[in-house]
Amino acid sequence: MRQKTCSACGGKMQSLGNMELQKGKFSMLFGHWDQILSGALDVDVECCERCKKLEFYLLGDAEAPEASGIQQIACPYCGDMHDMDDAVCPHCGRRLMAL
Ligand SMILES: [Zn+2]
Ligand SMILES: [Zn+2]
Provide the pLDDT confidence category of residue 35 given band limits of 50, 70 and 90: very low
Higher pLDDT, 38 or 3: 3
Ligand nearest the Cα atom of residue 81: 2
Distance 88 CA to ligand 2 centre (A): 8
Q: What is the amino acid identity at position 77?
A: Y
Distance 24 CA to ligand 2 centre (A): 41
Distance 56 CA to ligand 1 centre (A): 13
Whether the pLDDT of residue 54 is over 60: the answer is: yes
Distance 12 CA to ligand 1 centre (A): 7
pLDDT at 43: 82
Percentage above 70 pLDDT, the chain: 65
* Mean pLDDT to the nearest integer, 18-25: 66
- The alpha carbon torsion through 55, 60, 64, 65 (nearest 10 deg) reads 170
Provide the pLDDT confidence category of residue 37 given band limits of 50, 70 and 90: low
Ligand nearest the Cα atom of residue 80: 2
Phi-psi region of 79 (alpha: psi -120 to 50; beta: other; left: phi over 0): left
- HSE on the CB side for 77, CA within 13 Å? 11
Whether the pLDDT of residue 25 is over 60: the answer is: no
What is the average pLDDT value for the chain, to the nearest integer? Answer: 77
